[in-house]
């Protein structure tokens, strides 16, 4: 849904894999840095992160912080996603989808065991997925709404049958909904784990760090390091200081304003990665005066997006609801070019020359974006009042009760265009044509044809000015030269560390 972060344009590092999985082993990230010296299999990798999980139960708890460290490292699904968000096999050696898009057949890899030593069978997959399908308290339950049955013809085969085609179903299996757990396991997932991934949980020091050890009996290629320590440092300056004093091998979510300090030290290589983070200026489409498309368009035309990105320090222009890494993306900059004079005319036509609006924003986002918006809107005669609130208040007032005019939040989930096809979502946007195109896109069995339908729907949303997408977020990561293979892109989704190595002394 959205992402908590203390500064705009910077996100906690999460990553996915980058090499297509073969039938005989697990996947690992494509190296993005060249290490100095030979990899040391006994090494410890220390990674600085921002957002710590509240508990480790990824089945019942949502949030980027859990996916960030648990998916692909501790837990695995039948499929996973690469850094470019393409789908690849994981616990499944291969899979087939029927021509009508209703039947998915997966073949499990050989030799997969849970961390307690029990062998993975198709019964574990069936039990895991049936639970998601029938238990509304489990993450991904809504994504299994079209699942009719999950069966296991034998110990190595799983067949999932849908009631109707769903272009997003396979992708949904790359998230928490698709993770596989041991049938009947009594592990307390809030504090412990029993996955199939290349690492096991060694220790969680709440408020400080989480430590993983290499799983010696992993079914695929063994992890490249013996131990991973995730250090949670919510303050960005403190994170940079920890990196510079030698406490960290990798620092994620580097504040763009602090990046030069790391780069000039000569101790780190900085990478800028793509994400599906959509810095969304939400309009309450169901509330006057935002129910007038002229007002919404005027607000978008008043924003100098390039100037805002420069102020934020990281990001790429985004003028529509679909980012570059998602199906259906196209450049929609023509829908809302910077044009303050036209904005003034539209406001005059709408009888809103002296408009005053309130921006409700979670306080941890800081003041950069509000300050830019205040300045840009003032130039077209719009007074913007800023109401910073604590995140629980934002959830209650904006997300749940829809009691707001303008809001800002970073929506990070991939393939979440469906929010604009849902009139009950907090945007209050109700367009039957968009809803119809989205329904067709999901039912379309051809991925290319589905993407075209999504692009058509996204253009309608942008030309309707249902929101403004201030920028597509980027993540800056600082990596020591001794580290190789640390992912760059999509690290708002998860960090797959299996293929990361650290050079010896």
| pLDDT at position 9 | 30
The first and second tokens of residue 469, run together, are: 């997408």
Is 421 inside a domain boundary? yes
Residue 140: count of CB within 10 angstroms of its CB = 18
Q: Is residue 199 part of a domain?
A: no
Regarding beta strands 199-205 and 209-214, do their DSSP bridges make them parallel or antiparallel, or are they unpaired? Answer: antiparallel
Look at residue 407 and tell me if it is in a domain.
yes
- By C-alpha distance, which of 60, 50, 29, 84 is closest to 410? 50
This prediction's pTM: 0.84
In a domain, 286, yes or no: yes
* Residue 59 belongs to some domain of the structure: no
**For residue 36, what pLDDT band results from cuts at 50, 70 and 90?**
low
pLDDT (tens digit, 9 = 90+) per residue, 95-136? Answer: 999 999 999 999 999 999 999 999 999 999 999 999 999 999
- Counted domains in the chain: 1
Position 11 confidence tier, pLDDT thresholds 50, 70, 90: very low
User: What integer pLDDT is reported at residue 491 of this predicted model?
Assistant: 83
Residue environment code for 50-79, b if the CB has 16+ CB neighbours within 10 A, otherwise e? bbbbeebbbbebebbbbbbbbbbbbbbbbb
On whether the CB atoms of residues 359 and 375 are closer than 8 A, the answer is no
- Nearest Cα residue to 226 out of 193, 199, 247: 199
Residues near 92 by Cβ (< 8 Å), separated by ≥ 6?
A: 78, 79, 106, 107, 108, 109, 158
**Assigned domain for 19 exists:** no
Convert the pLDDT of each residue in 355-392 to its tens digit.
999 999 998 888 999 999 999 999 999 999 999 999 88
Residue range 73-99: mean pLDDT, rounded? 95
Contact between 21 and 82 under an 8 Å Cβ cutoff? The reply is no
Question: Using CA of residue 139, residue 144, residue 150, residue 156, what is the dihedral sign?
Answer: negative
Q: What is the pLDDT of residues 254-272, one digit of tens each?
A: 999 899 999 999 999 999 9
Peptide bond into 289 cis (omega under 30): yes
Which has the closest alpha carbon to 291: 162, 422, 430? 430
Q: Find all residues with CB under 8 Å of 158, minimum gap 6, and list them.
A: 78, 92, 105, 106, 108, 122, 125, 126, 129, 150, 151, 152
Return d(Cα 162, Cα 409) in angstroms, integer.
34
Q: What is the 3-state secondary structure (H, E, C) of 19-50?
A: CCCCCCCCCCCCCCCCCCCCECCCCEEEEEEC
Give the pLDDT score at 37.
82
Please check whether residue 67 lies inside any domain of the structure: no
Domain span at residue 338 reads 274-473
443-488 pLDDT, tens per residue?
999 999 999 999 999 999 999 999 999 999 999 999 999 999 999 9
pLDDT tens-digit series, residues 158-212? 999 999 999 999 999 999 999 999 999 999 999 999 999 999 999 999 999 999 9
In-domain check, residue 194: no
- What Rg, from alpha-carbon coordinates, does the chain have? 23
With a CB cutoff of 8 Å and minimum separation 6, the contacts of 266 are none
- CATH number at 388 reads 3.10.105.10
Check residue 177 and report its DSSP letter: G
């Amino acid at each position: 849904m959205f992402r908590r972060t203390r500064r705009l344009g910077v996100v906690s590092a999460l990553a996915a894999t980058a090499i297509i999985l073969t039938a005989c082993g697990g996947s690992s990230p494509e190296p993005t840095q060249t290490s100095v010296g030979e990899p040391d299999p006994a090494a410890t990798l220390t990674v600085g992160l921002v957002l710590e999980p509240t508990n480790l139960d990824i089945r019942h708890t949502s949030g980027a912080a859990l996916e960030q460290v648990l998916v692909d490292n501790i837990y695995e699904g039948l499929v996973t996603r690469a850094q470019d968000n393409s789908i690849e096999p994981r616990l499944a050696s291969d899979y087939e989808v029927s021509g009508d898009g209703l039947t998915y057949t997966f073949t499990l890899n050989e030799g997969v065991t849970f961390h307690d030593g029990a062998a993975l069978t198709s019964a574990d997959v069936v039990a895991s997925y049936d639970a998601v399908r029938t238990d509304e308290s489990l993450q991904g339950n809504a994504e299994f709404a079209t699942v009719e049955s999950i069966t296991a013809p034998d110990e190595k085969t799983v067949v999932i049958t849908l009631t109707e085609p769903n272009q997003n179903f396979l992708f949904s299996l790359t998230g928490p909904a698709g993770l596989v757990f041991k049938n009947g396991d009594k592990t307390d997932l809030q504090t412990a784990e029993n996955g199939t991934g290349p690492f096991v949980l060694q220790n969680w020091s709440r408020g400080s760090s989480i430590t993983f050890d290499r799983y010696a009996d992993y079914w695929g290629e063994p992890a490249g390091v013996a131990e991973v320590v995730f250090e949670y440092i919510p303050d960005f300056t403190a994170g940079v200081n920890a990196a510079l004093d030698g406490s960290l091998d990798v620092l994620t979510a580097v504040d763009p304003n602090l990046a030069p300090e790391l780069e000039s030290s000569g101790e780190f290589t900085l990478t800028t990665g793509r994400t599906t983070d959509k810095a969304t200026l939400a309009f309450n489409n169901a509330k006057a005066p935002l129910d007038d498309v002229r007002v919404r368009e005027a607000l978008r035309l008043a924003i100098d997006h390039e100037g805002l990105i420069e102020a934020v320090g990281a990001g790429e222009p985004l003028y529509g609801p679909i980012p570059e890494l998602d199906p259906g993306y196209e450049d929609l900059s023509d829908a809302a070019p910077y044009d303050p004079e036209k904005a003034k005319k539209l406001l005059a036509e709408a009888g809103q020359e002296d408009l005053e609006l309130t921006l409700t924003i979670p306080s941890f986002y800081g003041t950069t974006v509000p300050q830019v918006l205040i300045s840009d809107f003032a130039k077209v005669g719009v007074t913007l009042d800023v109401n910073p609130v604590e995140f629980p208040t934002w959830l209650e007032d904006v997300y749940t009760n829809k009691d707001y005019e303008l809001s800002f939040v970073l929506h990070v989930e991939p393939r979440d265009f469906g929010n604009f096809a849902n009139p009950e979502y907090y945007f209050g946007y109700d367009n039957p044509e968009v809803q119809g195109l989205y329904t067709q896109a999901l039912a379309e069995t051809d991925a290319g044809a589905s993407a075209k339908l999504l692009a058509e729907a996204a253009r309608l949303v942008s030309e309707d000015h249902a929101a403004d997408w201030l920028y597509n977020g980027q993540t800056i990561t600082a990596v020591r030269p001794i580290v190789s293979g640390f992912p760059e892109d999509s690290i708002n989704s998860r960090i797959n560390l299996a293929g990361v190595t650290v050079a010896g002394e």
